[in-house]
Chain A
Amino acid sequence: MTTMGKQHRQEYENNNDYHFYLWWFRFSKVLCTVIAGAHLLACPYSKVEESFHVQATHDLYYYGVQDAVNAFYFSNPNNNNDTTTSSPSHSLPPYDHWEYPGVVPRTFFGSFVLAQACRIVGCFVPLSLTPLQVGFLARLLLLLLSLSQLFGLADTLQQTTTTTTTTTGVSSSRMIGTYFLLIAAAQFHGMFYASRLLSNTFATIFTTRSLAYWVRSVATTTTTKARSKQSTTNLQMIGAAADMVLATTIFRCDCLLLLFCCGLSWLVTRRLTVPIAIITGIVAGVLGLAVSVPLDSAMWRTRYYWPEGIVLYYNTILNKSSDYGVSAWHWYWSHALPKALLFTYVKFASKYVYWACVLLFCVYIRVRNGWLTPQKC
């Protein structure tokens, strides 16, 4: 996989095929936008898993962070312990998470960014926004963020060529970016949740960005360098690693598993050297903490409060998430991935023999557990 040379690109763009591929690429972008937008319009309400971020965005839009920050950082030492009752001159806003903290804490950073963005948009709108409009706007902005990262990855893919050298020449296709978007558009969860205020959505924005950097890094590596087993670290890979670390420290600590797996892959394929990986990890980790801890300490009213650290402790050491239901070890393979990937699951079988065995196993599990039972989405 390499990027095209200049002359080749000139030749290529003069070719009629170029317009064909470009049309399909633009169509796939439009399709993604229409589908994700349709999901946003069709289901304007939010369910329990989104409720923290929805209420947080509401609170940060209507009340802001100033009162909580002032009360936590700058309040009179005499009143420091007195956070539940309020002095007559300075009452604290009724933040929803103080009354309903939820099972585990989450960061306010995502909601903060969306709330501020809504306020900025609100400045340019002549009439003040109704609450439902604010909620819709927040989700629309999140949708734009999600799609922008997805399209960024597709653009990177589109600029690479997949070439297969045959005995007579080079045949190339510029459809990989298009196929990526078509596959993403055909799946339910990616499009549906792109506009939903979930910590997983925020994390996915960052991991998609990381993947785009990674692909760009691989594409801009010359083959000679790769063959000589030198390390191919470049700025793109540092960006990829940093984005993954930020996703883990700010939004979802379970991305630690993804960070670990991708990190292994990067080290094994010599995309990152160990020293650079460590430095990037530390710097990005500190940056993530610097973003999350000050804001969340003020909002959750506890010193040095790192929500994802607490979630990590809760899930791994305390293992209390099992109180909310456990599923069989194979559940991800037999239920979750098929539902999320739908028939993409089948596509793998056409390409990788060993994957076909996994697929057969999953079909077996599903049949054993009742193939035709209706599903909840």
Chain B
Amino acid sequence: MFDGTWAPFLLPALGFVALYSFLGHKEVRFLFPALPLFNLCAAAGLDRLHIAAMTTTKDKSPTKLARLLYAAGLASLVASLAASTTFGVVSTWNYPGGQALDQLGRHLARQEQQRHVAMNVRIFVDVSAAMTGVSLFGQRQVQQTLERDYASVVFVKAGYETQHRIDGESSLSSSPTSSPYATFSHLLTELASVEGFHTIGTARGNPRLDLKRLRIITEDAIYIQQNDQWLDDSKAMQ
């Protein structure tokens, strides 16, 4: 039952997880380096079951228990694959920030065909959007796509951690009376309504798996807010 060949591989992996358990802050990704060790031992186990279940020697044919365990091992593989596929599909909804930026880029690219006025686009990216998929690659893509049609496309990011939330927003307000967002033409924010802005699009996120009805439930996570004055007061924004 206990095979010593693989103990030198399994015990370090177990020790790693046990030692790491002493650190309060835990995340699944901290265990990634040890996962191949676990998988190696599991593969060895499944291989042994394969041998026990499939090979027929002159003396005896495989026992029923061996066959059953081997089938259970294979079934667990299939079940794992099904669960992983579910996780994968749910994960596609975890990036509302990136999707919102995409949407905004396409919206602005479409818009300019209607209005041939060079305007300045200033986009504010709040912490939630920055944490869920707004990357410099995406920003640069939007800038490059729009650079011929607009005078300038500027991004201002609040930060990646919630501590920045207060710092970023307090530094934005140019005058104490106006809203801190007044200088921006567009916002990518988790706030559903912002004074002086209206919502032109949303990106859904925060997926949950509804097991009863086998659906993924999402909610509006990031809102694309457009300054009320943007299209009307283009001269003031230049």
Contact = CB atoms under 8 A, between A and B. Distances in A.
Contacts of A166: 57, 59
A301 B206 CA distance: 38
A203 B33 contact: yes
B29 A192 contact: no
B62 to A, nearest CB: 11
Given A54-B136, A343-B77, A352 B1 contact: yes
Nearest to A49: B29
A255 B33 contact: yes
A261 B19 contact: yes
Contact of A265 (B11, B27, B46, B73): B11
Given A183-B77, A200-B32, A342 B84 contact: yes
Give the bracket for the number of chain B residues in contact with chain A: 35 or more
Contact of B42 (A157, A206, A347): A347
B196 interface: no
B45 A204 contact: no
A218 to B, nearest CB: 8
Given A179-B46, A343-B79, A333 B138 contact: no
Contacts of B130: 48, 51
A132 B19 CA distance: 40
Interface stretch (A74-82, A83-91, A314-322): A314-322
A58 interface: yes
Contact of A211 (B40, B51, B54): B40
A134 B208 CA distance: 32
Given A130-B144, A173-B51, A179-B47, A46 B29 contact: no
A371 to B, nearest CB: 12
Contact of B43 (A46, A183, A258, A350): A183
Nearest to B133: A45
Nearest to A169: B57
B79 A342 contact: yes
Interface residues of A, number: 115
A66 interface: no
A332 B17 contact: yes
A135 B208 CA distance: 28
A167 B59 contact: yes
Nearest to A327: B26
Contact of A342 (B40, B83, B94, B95): B83
The 3 closest A-B pairs by CB, nearest first: A45-B98, A45-B133, A326-B24
16 contacts: A39-B88, A42-B91, A48-B130, A55-B135, A132-B138, A157-B40, A162-B47, A173-B50, A173-B55, A214-B9, A215-B40, A260-B15, A264-B15, A321-B23, A327-B25, A351-B45
Interface of A: 1, 35, 38-39, 42-49, 51, 54-55, 58-59, 62, 96, 100, 102-103, 130-132, 134-135, 150, 153, 157, 162, 164, 166-169, 171-173, 175-177, 179-180, 182-193, 198, 200-201, 203-204, 206-208, 211, 214-215, 247, 252, 254-255, 257-258, 260-262, 264-266, 268-269, 271, 315, 319, 321-322, 324-327, 329-333, 335-337, 339-344, 346-348, 350-353, 372, 374-375, 377
Interface of B: 1-3, 5, 8-9, 11-13, 15-17, 19-51, 54-55, 57-59, 69, 72-73, 76-81, 83-84, 87-92, 94-95, 97-99, 130-133, 135-141, 144, 157, 159-161, 164, 208-211
